[in-house]
Structure 1
């Protein structure tokens, strides 16, 4: 029996190779608009000015809406991973750029409207999140996402880390330099909120806090911080900070804020 089967193995390899080559050829001929249609079904990803092919294409402008908040992604390019089509969950390596903003990673689209992004890096100015912050901010945001998953318009999973370097805030018309900070972030499905453990990297503020951002709105911060003496004098912290935070001792304060 083995002798009989062995006669068919070489032809079978050639048949499989022919099928793969046919699939690759077909993908290279399919217009990018078909791929764009499939990628935007059942979710809030929007693409316009689409050119190229399903295998390798680009959109002149792209955007995404997460829990009613609109985010522009800029020009988007993708390179399809053809074998992922066999699982009906196509994946592509994507690169989106908009002025000082850059996003790179792998995006996978499911038939159930789920959009998953893995191994992604994001660099953007802090002004990107200005709408959710009560004071003007400056600096550079950098994020590394292990995974981000959306189903329809709702976030369903998030794991990653974030840094804010050269952080500055404006208070009463004066800019204060805060240093640099980092955070380990996850999504809490029970509370429907982003949760981040935030800590300082350098600068005049020693910070250890938990930040919760319910997707329904609001910011909750709880933890502790300590200022250097020079920075405390610069911003005249002793005159006003005890009215906002719980003064512990010296330049140390307990943080319990809600915006």
Structure 2
């Protein structure tokens, strides 16, 4: 067989595989999710362009609902061996949309991601009753084995509040601008957008090791209950409270 005919045959085979993928039913996703904490119901469409009426993720703190999910696969990304999906998910006022590219079994690149969640989701990380809206605008986030290697993103907490035992205590609105690329540490600048409780500081992430340094001040009189709660985590200083935390993020096997 001549080289041109061999090349033509390879191209035809690739096109056939792409056609088979495009026409494969979306319910095949269920098989791929076996053994994972993700459950999808009401699947429709194809693997190429599909939808699920409800998606849930089991976590240590309970079930995280993603709601209705749609996706579309960029066909040419398969030829580059880097499958790229455009996705969106909505659950009430909670929503997330963006693009994900897989560069291997443990490596993913997120681009153009916009997300909005209720702050009550923080209970999946810590047993604290918090209110407000969490937001994310991710220009790019490169992850390998869940470790961020590169990031350009802004995370916000709008109209933050603490649902204390004595009632709702308004805190303010805050933002963290994250920049950086490995091997240098990723750095996040913490700023206050509005509100009586002001937070200014920085966070750093080197591989899985993180450090947080925040100065907390108040425009008016401190609420005694808030002071009591902060005293458990932060050091009282003349200006307010000096919060410093450090540790390591859990690995994929934890």
Fold shared per TM-score above 0.5: yes
Alignment of 1:171-182 (within 5 A): 171-182=164-175
For 1:71 and 1:104, locate their aligned partners in 2 and report how far apart those are by CA, in whole Å.
17
For 1:111 and 1:226, locate their aligned partners in 2 and report how far apart those are by CA, in whole Å.
45
Instruction: Say which of 214, 231, 244 aligns to 1:223.
Output: 214
Q: Which moved more, 1:113-122 or 1:81-90?
A: 113-122
1:199 aligns with 2:196: no
| Structure 1, unaligned runs of 5 or more | 1-7, 9-14
Residue in 1 that maps onto 2:43: 50
For 2:206 and 2:94, locate their aligned partners in 1 and report how far apart those are by CA, in whole Å.
25
1:76 aligns with 2:69: yes
For 2:165 and 2:96, locate their aligned partners in 1 and report how far apart those are by CA, in whole Å.
33
Q: CA contact under 8 A between 2:61 and 2:125: conserved in structure 1?
A: no
For 1:242 and 1:79, locate their aligned partners in 2 and report how far apart those are by CA, in whole Å.
45
Offset of 1:118 from its aligned partner? Answer: 1.9
Instruction: Say which of 82, 91, 100 aligns to 2:93.
Output: 100
| Structure 2, unaligned runs of 5 or more | 247-254
Offset of 1:207 from its aligned partner? Answer: 1.7
Residue in 2 that maps onto 1:155: 146
Instruction: Say which of 165, 177, 201 aligns to 1:209.
Output: 201
Q: CA contact under 8 A between 1:126 and 1:139: conserved in structure 2?
A: yes
1:253 aligns with 2:247: no
Count of aligned pairs: 236
Measured against aligned partners, the alpha-carbon deviations of 1:13-64 in whole angstroms (never above 9, x if no partner) come to: xx9x9999867654442222346656x5997655343211122101223345
Offset of 1:228 from its aligned partner? Answer: 1.1
Offset of 1:188 from its aligned partner? Answer: 9.6
1:32 aligns with 2:26: yes
Offset of 1:169 from its aligned partner? Answer: 0.6
Alignment of 1:60-71 (within 5 A): 60-64=53-57, 71=64
Larger Rg: 1
Give the structure-1-normalised TM-score.
0.69
Q: CA contact under 8 A between 1:58 and 1:76: conserved in structure 2?
A: yes
Measured against aligned partners, the alpha-carbon deviations of 1:133-164 in whole angstroms (never above 9, x if no partner) come to: 3531100111012334555xx41226222111
Superposition CA RMSD, Å = 4.5
Measured against aligned partners, the alpha-carbon deviations of 1:84-113 in whole angstroms (never above 9, x if no partner) come to: 111222111101111221010012234524
